Amino acid sequence: MKMELNADNPFVQALAVSTVMALFMISVALGIMNMASNVAASSDTTPVPTAVILLIFAVVFIAGSVFFESRGADYIGSMVGGAIASFIATFVATAFFTGVTYALNGGIRALWWEQILSALAVCMVASMFIIRLLQHKLQSSY
């Protein structure tokens, strides 16, 4: 019996996208936990260099400002929108890379395997909900 993996199958697509999003969510959560424990321990170090953090902020700030300006926002509104988007994107990117580093350095062993599987399941359901909600919103908009 030969089994093929068909990428055009909507079940495979939904499972793959929700799994990747769930792993991203878990990594961000681990990164936030690690950053919070570093703040509590007074060691303000992240595996992401400050120059990279500033570069992410600058690129997203420029892209966000142009995006909001092209959507009809005035000068100040586009700058504020770009700043908010860049703060969020920079925090998420830093938390993601911190979480990946934390997991690779043995942070997963500190948690029980049942907690990791439960987190994966919850994040998969949440990501599927987010995907369907965005699909519905985008279909009604365009």
Output the pLDDT for position 5.
62
In this prediction, residue 54 carries a pLDDT of 94
Question: What tokens were used for 71?
Answer: 């959507």
Q: What is the pLDDT of residues 54-91, one digit of tens each?
A: 999 999 999 999 999 998 888 899 999 999 999 999 99
Q: Rounded to an integer, what distance in angstroms lies between the CA atom of residue 58 and that of residue 93?
A: 13
Q: How many helices (H) and strands (E) does the chain have?
A: 5, 0
In terms of phi and psi (left: phi > 0; alpha: psi -120 to 50; beta: otherwise), the region of 123 is: alpha
* pLDDT (average), residues 33-44: 75
* Model pLDDT for residues 97-111, shown as the tens digit of each residue: 999 998 888 777 777
First to last CA, the chain: 44
Question: How many CB atoms within 10 Å of residue 36?
Answer: 10
